[in-house]
A and B are shown apart, each in its own frame.
Chain A
Amino acid sequence: MKAHSLLHRSVLDASADAGHNALVEIRVDGDCFVYIYDFYLGMLDRLAQYDGIIIETTKSIFTRHAVWRIRSYFEHNLFLLPLFLRRSSRILDASLGAMTDGYVSTEESLFEVVSITRSIQENREKIRLPEMADIDAQVILGHLAYGVSRGQQTIKPIIDRDCRMGYLYPIISAIEANGRIRSSVVELLDEAESLGYVKARMLQSTYVCSSCEDAFLQFREVCPACLSSDIVTEEVVHHFRCAHVAPLSDFRQEIQGGHILECPKCNHELKHIGVDFDKPSSMHRCRSCNKDFQNYHVYARCTTCDHDQNVEHLIKRDVKEYDITDKALASLQRGLSAREPDQLGEVIPETMDWSLFIKALAFEADRPGASGQLVSIEIEDLKGLIKQIGSKNKNKLLTELIQVIKASQGARDMRNVQLPFLYFTLLDTSAKDAEDIAQRTVFLLNHLLKDNLSIKQALLTTELTPITKGGVTELERKKLGV
């Protein structure tokens, strides 16, 4: 009863509020929910402090917008919050169900809301979602975290007519819809698979527009010659005794009170199908150009870009579901360090693994008579850079940068990528020479970024340190973010 009256009162309060940005708090059993209308346009940050969100639904377009906004809002991990809809009438949107955690209708359901919220909170406690430099990586992990927090082992596609590919994957699709990532949903999921975070399982295939890759197409049968849809179909009749074959209408004779079938070749009446005649096939005729044919073409017009195409030219897409792997669970539970974003990436060729690099540096520092220098190059605004090129191309770019660095080094020299830093050694080189080499290398790297790849911001800053025991320790500390 308490819950009911609470809900009831707050609804009245909210209605009384003239503005669209009213926040009403509802406390149930020590949990504090925030209650908003689906046309809420206020700051989302304000919602993050609550245990869950209840949205009053008015129009499904508003509801969808509100849900999508919340589920794609990564600040304060808002997208992970339990989210419930209070529905006055039935909502005909399968995807809304998949993007939210339940519905509030009766007073009893508020207790269910609490129990769902508790269970999500419990799951969330096992997860430490890291902050990533790479937005794509952030999205992938966020998506996985969402699944895990909801106790799901599989990320399932939900059929959805407002999503470009016709299916959505709860979090990633919401973010894609908000235009916050460069890569497509499919590309991101493929990347997640290549990283071993998910294991894809083919569910079915779907066809998308060859021009804009949208799944919303209108199909129609057309004449293969002129593409008109004005087609009539007629059965073909074979008269056994004279071997005459023609469309049914050739045989039709109107008589008083009906019609008979009479062969135009031999003038015999066709009485019994199977005995006198049969219908071996049927033919289509285009009323626009008079072409006869048996196989019409099927054309698909894209409802998004208006491109009209033969269905044979549509792009076939696999719709998959993704099992979250143990590796992903382990990563989420461990809470990846913010300084370790390229754990997500593959190994860049010609570079050393970090621990090996450190060991080699320590070994070099110990070597009597050694006079090596360690150059560290920091890529400024790494986030911005990756946004420009897309996370998929990140490793390609790094590989090219490393090649430039390698060209300026000696045979024994080493390299390591520790984003946003690139480290490389200049062994047996004086500080003076190393300075020159480092400057030239940075010039070349900037040149590569700006002129060859036309990447807008191309700022690299360098630092030069002699390879000593102290220097190596310093480096390790820096990496750990101490």
Chain B
Amino acid sequence: MTLLEEIIGYWTHADWAKIGRVFWYFLIFELMRYVIVDYVVVAIHFLDRLVNRKRWDRAKEALHLVQPLVSILVPGKNEGKHLFKLTRSLAEQTYRNFELIVVDDGSTDDTRIIGRDLEARGLIDLFISNDVRGGKASGANIALRYAKGKYIVHFDADCSFDRDAIEKSLLPFYYDERIAAVGGNLEVRNSRESLATTLQAIEYLKVILVGRMVTSYIGIYRIISGAFGTFRTDVLKRLGGWDLGPGLDGDITVKIRKLGYRVHFQPTANGLTSVPNSFKKLSKQRLRWDKSIIRFRLRKHKDVFYPNANFRMLNMFSSFENIGYNVLLNISWFIYVVDILVNFGHLFIYILPANILLYTVANYLQFFAIMLIVRKPEEKHRLFFYLPAMVFYTGYYLRIVRLIAHTKELFFKESYKDPWNPLKSSLKAKALRI
């Protein structure tokens, strides 16, 4: 009897109680969250489109009638090499009434020369060059200070966009005036570059598209990516713009929510972003991201859990979901692993392959849901073959990185040491415990 036959034999004879006991983590968290909820949301999405089509059409008419000035802010350090491509990408936008403000945050390369040149050629409306680096937030804030548009679009310099991306990201403001911020959808541009980028491409489709659509429908959408986010200028100015990073994307979203505005995810506004092309670089990026969650959810915005005047159920739920998903879920997975090893250690050889199989099947089910709403699904067929690898990517790799990040941040406040902000700001932030 081979091992495979033995495994199949074992599980065909197992009863449901046993399966529930051994795969509790998968059944409670993964199956619910990724498969059932996703199909429900996809259904809601189509239903919503059908029911609210007239309202969206009216929003579109209103936008075309008003044609408000939009300020596109692109802060960054040493991003000069991307700027020309960015202006080319913007030149093809269907929405024409915008100004482009690029901030060179103390670049050490020839960004300043490139920026000045593009400004002189009229491709950049305002190029602001800071002699000393101030960090991501200050770069965005100086651009905000000089922005003249009614809406702010925050871009990363190395992103590119679908021709109708800006137009699509403005529509929600005319659809629902309580919306003050709109997140665009980001896909991976360099997905063919390496295994790491391919897996990230799948992850982005899963998490950003479906994950954000879900949270947006429930009303707990929490992070507008800085790579592509659109905001009402008046609201941003009321908030004083972005606060000291890292994690300022999530931070600004929470602040907008606290003012009582809605934050919307617009899956049809599409941008492409480049992701780290090796697991080493990816790990560094994720460590930084995951640390910021602790810092901002648990430290800076812990007031969302307090029953005070500003208390809003959804905000608390949003933060809770965020923390839950990122921290508690991660911890409970490790509890699950320990549970299995301790109680069913002798069955490990049967449980592991079955787990992998279950996750793979769930991944495929979820991917079919994604294919129903994603744009240009035919281009994504290639990713099908990599889905089994996702079990290891999200199931093990990302979890371990996350655990390391959370531990470091919770116990050592490591994010203050990150080169994310210049030293002067980090010192200040640490001293003020923000």
Contacts and interface: CB of A to CB of B under 8 A. Distances in A.
Interface in A279-338: 280-281, 283, 292-295, 312
Interface string B324-335: 000000000000
A34 interface: no
A275 B241 CA distance: 21
Interface string A348-379: 00000000000000000000000000000000
B128 interface: yes
Contact of B141 (A224, A243, A293): A243
A293 B126 contact: yes
A243 B137 contact: yes
B360 interface: no
A243 B420 CA distance: 13
Contacts of A264: 240
Contacts of A292: 126, 146
A243 B127 CA distance: 19
B65 interface: no
Contacts of B240: 242, 244, 264-266
B106 A241 contact: no
A202 B90 CA distance: 45
Contacts of B135: 243
Contacts of A283: 128, 146
Interface in B137-157: 137-138, 141-142, 145-146
Contacts of A243: 134-135, 137-138, 141, 241-245, 425
A295 B131 contact: no
B249 interface: no
Given A242-B240, A243-B241, A295-B119, A280 B130 contact: yes
Given A243-B425, A245-B142, A245-B145, A280 B126 contact: no
B126 A244 contact: no
B424 interface: yes
Contacts of B130: 236, 238, 280-281
Contacts of B429: 240-241
Contacts of A294: 126-129
A246 B244 contact: no
B60 interface: no
Interface in A257-285: 264-266, 274-276, 278, 280-281, 283
Given A266-B240, A283-B146, A241 B428 contact: yes
Contacts of A250: 145
B424 A278 contact: yes
A132 to B, nearest CB: 49
B116 interface: yes
Nearest to B144: A245
B77 to A, nearest CB: 12
Contact of A280 (B119, B132, B245): B132
Nearest to B147: A292
Interface in B391-431: 424-425, 428-429
Contacts of A238: 130, 134, 138, 142
Contact of B138 (A245, A247, A274): A245
A284 to B, nearest CB: 11
A240 B131 contact: no
Nearest to A310: B120
B66 interface: no
B110 to A, nearest CB: 15
A241 B244 contact: yes
Nearest to B134: A238
B74 to A, nearest CB: 15
B239 to A, nearest CB: 8
B149 to A, nearest CB: 13
A245 B243 CA distance: 11
Contacts of B120: 224, 295, 312
A107 B132 CA distance: 67
B354 interface: no
A46 to B, nearest CB: 60
A265 B137 CA distance: 13
Contacts of A247: 145
B137 A281 contact: no
Contacts of A240: 244, 424-425, 428-429
Task: Please indicate which of the listed interface residues A247, A250, A274, A294 has the most CB atoms of chain B within 10 Å of its own CB.
Answer: A294
B116 A295 contact: yes
B4 interface: no
Contacts of B340: none
B106 A280 contact: yes
Contacts of A281: 128-131
Contact of A242 (B127, B132, B146, B243): B243
Contact of A278 (B126, B132, B141): B132
A265 B241 CA distance: 9
A294 B120 CA distance: 11
A236 B425 CA distance: 16
Interface in A457-478: none
A251 to B, nearest CB: 12
A310 to B, nearest CB: 9
A236 B138 CA distance: 11
Interface in B106-133: 106, 116, 119-120, 126-133
B196 interface: no
A244 B116 CA distance: 24
A266 B141 CA distance: 14
Contacts of B132: 278, 280
Interface in A49-76: none
Contacts of B119: 224, 295
B80 to A, nearest CB: 15
A244 B241 contact: yes
Contacts of A244: 138, 141, 240-241
A278 B132 CA distance: 9
Interface in A100-149: none
B118 to A, nearest CB: 11
B1 interface: no
B432 interface: yes
Task: Please indicate which of the listed interface residues A242, A250, A283 has the most CB atoms of chain B within 10 Å of its own CB.
Answer: A242
Contacts of B145: 245-247, 250
B134 A280 contact: yes
Contacts of A280: 106, 130-134, 138, 142
Contacts of B128: 281, 283, 294
A241 B241 contact: no
Contacts of B126: 292-294
Contacts of B235: none
Interface in B14-43: none
Closest 8 CB pairs of A and B: A265-B240, A243-B137, A280-B130, A245-B142, A240-B428, A245-B141, A243-B138, A292-B146
Interface of B: 106, 116, 119-120, 126-135, 137-138, 141-142, 145-146, 240-245, 424-425, 428-429, 432, 434
21 contacts: A224-B119, A240-B428, A241-B244, A241-B428, A242-B240, A242-B243, A243-B243, A243-B244, A244-B241, A245-B141, A245-B142, A246-B142, A265-B240, A280-B142, A281-B128, A281-B129, A281-B130, A281-B131, A283-B146, A292-B126, A294-B127
Given A240-B424, A243-B141, A246-B142, 13 more contacts: A238-B134, A240-B425, A240-B429, A241-B244, A243-B242, A244-B138, A245-B141, A246-B145, A281-B129, A283-B128, A283-B146, A294-B126, A295-B116
